[in-house]
Structure formats: C-alpha cells, structure tokens
Structure 1
Amino acid sequence: MLSSEKMQWFAMRATYRRGMQIKALLDKEGINNFIPMRYEVRIRNGRKRRELVPVISDLIFVHAVQSELQKVKFKLPYLQYMIDIRNGQKIIVPDDQMKQFIAVAGTYDEHLIFFSPDEVNLRKGTKVRITGGDFEGYEGVFVKVKGARDRRVVISLQGVIAMAMATLSPDLIEVIEEPKKR
C-alpha cells in the first residue's frame, strides 16, 4: 500500500448477479464491503418464505485502498467500478455518507424504500437533520416520494442509490436549509 493512498468506498457492480458470491470472496480476503439488503416474501417449493435479498442485484460497495482493490479485481473480472457518466470518474462515496447509509440500510427495515437516483428529485426538497430516535444526527432531504403517502427523509449516495426512511414525526426533524425558489 502506498502511503499516499487512503481507504475509500468504491461503488461497484458485480455482473451476472454475482453480488453475494463476490461479497463472500471479499469477506474471506478481509476486505470491508456492503450490499444493501431487504426482506422479500418468495415462494419456494409452494411455500412462502421471507428471505433477505439484495436491494439491487449487482450493487456492492467496497471499502479499500485503490491498489489493493486492483489486485482483487484482477482475480474477479466480473467486479467492475461504477463510473459517473458526467465526468468519467470512478464513483467514490465519502466515508460519512456511507456510514449513514449503512446505519440506515443495515437495519433491513421494511419501511425503507429504495430508488435509483433519477426516480427522486432531491432539488425540490428541504435539507434536514434528524434530532431524535434511532437515526438522531443523520442528515437527508425531506421530499415527497413515489409509493408513499407522506413526505420522507431521503438519504442519497450521489449517482448510485437513494433511500427513503420510514415516516418520522415532525418534532424529530430540524430544517438545515430551505429549498431554493425557482
């Protein structure tokens, strides 16, 4: 590892639905990683079963140093970097955003709603901080989301995924900055 390199969260794709297989290999190598998961009811052999499945089948976040990740990628050609189409750069998620995302998504709460970034317009929302409860201190955008009757706090990882949290009581939310009027 070069001394100038630092640990970063890389947004990656595991092609051909190999996410869980790659996760097992990364775990074995001791490389920190995260796949957002949720419970779904599936029918197997005529019986309903509640199973933990990836939210997006090929999405995996890997926390590593670039040079170490390159060595792993050489062994796993079906693990690919996600690229930001606006600038052609690898998508790297800031540590603080990833920490919040893992804390919320890692609860497997069935009230979480996941979106692709283009499905939710965060520019129309109000930037807020949660002031109480399990997610005290987390920040997001308070917006109306598709599939929910009320407005919810959305935590977004730029260009990768957005997640709407369960309905929060208004007294647990403080406004950080008002949306800009157009």
Structure 2
Amino acid sequence: MKENTTCNWYALYTKSRAEKKVAEELNKLGITNYLPIKRELRQWSDRKKWVEVPAISSYIFIHIPLDRYRDVFQVNGIVAYVSYKGKAVTIPDHEMQAMKQTIENKIAFNVEATNIKKGEEVMITSGPLKGIKGIVQNVQGTKKLYLNISNIGYTLVVDLDDASLEKA
C-alpha cells in the first residue's frame, strides 16, 4: 500500500450542463464523487414538470488520494479543479458532510436565533443535521442559517425548523 493514500475532497468545475455525465464517467473510473441534486418545478409552455438539477451549477465534488489527482482529466466535461494560487483547494470533511445532509434530508428546520450572531461557529444539536458545524454567515429572522462552504465560495442556506443550535 502506498504511503500517500489519504483521500481529500476537491471541487471540480465542469462544462455547463455536463455535471450528470461527468458523474457517470467518474463512477466508471472508480472515482468517488458527489453531485448535489435538487428538485425544481419547471414551467414549459404547455405543462409543469419536476426535474432534478445540480444544486450548484458546473460543480462536482470528488474524494481522491493525491496520487489520482490527474486521473479526473480522462473524463470529458471536466474543466479544472477549483484552485487558489494554482493549487487545488481541499474541502474539509465536515463541510462536505454539512452539504450532503442539508441536500439529502430535504427537511425544513427552525431555531431560536436570539443568541446566534454572524461570525460565530455553531453546531446543530438535534434533527437530521445533528453534529454539523459551521460558521454563521448571516441570520435572517429565526428561519434561515447561512453555513459557509469556505473553499469554494458558496454558502448553504438552511431553513431551520425543530433543530437546536449551540455555540461550538
């Protein structure tokens, strides 16, 4: 076994509307990936239809060891790693877990936000997102919590019902 087998999460830019195809191709190569999907009601001229679309357009997330870094470019549709100063940025496991649980649970949450302030680190203590930590980016009334996914410049906006928060 190689010494450098630690896997990290990375974000990849994809060509527009190529996210699902890229995910399929990564699966064929045996590369662990996560494509956050959401359901949207789309309006056509003659009907409405629920469709599944990427939650973040032109992004897919991969979990690989450093020695497989270049393997992803075998897949048509991948543009580049999300990088900073020429180096692919890693995404902490807890941020990926927060995103996965937020998207996969599809449940609205509520919290009393009286003691929670912008910039504080918090942890959800009950509900489907129990154990998730994040930095409060904004508090809007008592219904929305903005959790920063720091290395890709996105923020998850979570509607909170029946969950509790505590300062971490």
TM-score interval, smaller chain: 0.7 to 0.9
User: Whole-Å Cα distance in 2 between the matches of residues 132 and 39 of structure 1?
Assistant: 25
Length, aligned pairs only: 160
What SS class does the counterpart of residue 124 from structure 1 fall into?
coil
What SS class does the counterpart of residue 50 from structure 2 fall into?
strand
User: Whole-Å Cα distance in 2 between the matches of residues 78 and 166 of structure 1?
Assistant: 32
TM-score (norm 2): 0.79
Q: Which runs of 5+ in 1 are unaligned?
A: 113-122, 177-182
Paired position in structure 1 for 2:103: 105
User: Whole-Å Cα distance in 2 between the matches of residues 90 and 168 of structure 1?
Assistant: 36
**Structure 1 pair 107/92, CA: closer, same or farther in 2 (3 Å)?**
same
Paired position in structure 1 for 2:41: 41
Paired position in structure 1 for 2:146: 154
What SS class does the counterpart of residue 73 from structure 1 fall into?
helix
Paired position in structure 1 for 2:93: 95
> Counterpart of 2:31 in structure 1: which amino acid?
I
User: Whole-Å Cα distance in 2 between the matches of residues 102 and 75 of structure 1?
Assistant: 23
**Structure 1 pair 78/21, CA: closer, same or farther in 2 (3 Å)?**
same
> Counterpart of 2:132 in structure 1: which amino acid?
Y
Once the two structures are TM-superposed, the CA of residue 165 in structure 1 deviates from its matched residue by: 1.0
Paired position in structure 1 for 2:135: 141
TM-score (norm 1): 0.74
Once the two structures are TM-superposed, the CA of residue 75 in structure 1 deviates from its matched residue by: 4.4
Contact 2:118–2:138 (Cα < 8 Å) also in 1? no
1:173 correspondence with 2:133 = no
Contact 2:94–2:133 (Cα < 8 Å) also in 1? no
Higher strand share: 2
1:125 to 111, 119, 125: 119
Higher helix share: 1
**Structure 1 pair 15/2, CA: closer, same or farther in 2 (3 Å)?**
farther
User: Whole-Å Cα distance in 1 between the matches of residues 9 and 123 of structure 2?
Assistant: 23
Once the two structures are TM-superposed, the CA of residue 137 in structure 1 deviates from its matched residue by: 1.5
Once the two structures are TM-superposed, the CA of residue 108 in structure 1 deviates from its matched residue by: 4.1
User: Whole-Å Cα distance in 2 between the matches of residues 158 and 142 of structure 1?
Assistant: 12
1:66-85 maps to which residues of 2 (within 5 A)? 66-76=66-76, 78-84=78-84
> Counterpart of 1:132 in structure 2: which amino acid?
S
CA RMSD of aligned residues (A): 2.7
Once the two structures are TM-superposed, the CA of residue 71 in structure 1 deviates from its matched residue by: 2.2
**Structure 1 pair 91/159, CA: closer, same or farther in 2 (3 Å)?**
same
Q: Which runs of 5+ in 2 are unaligned?
A: 110-116
| Identity %, equivalent residues | 23
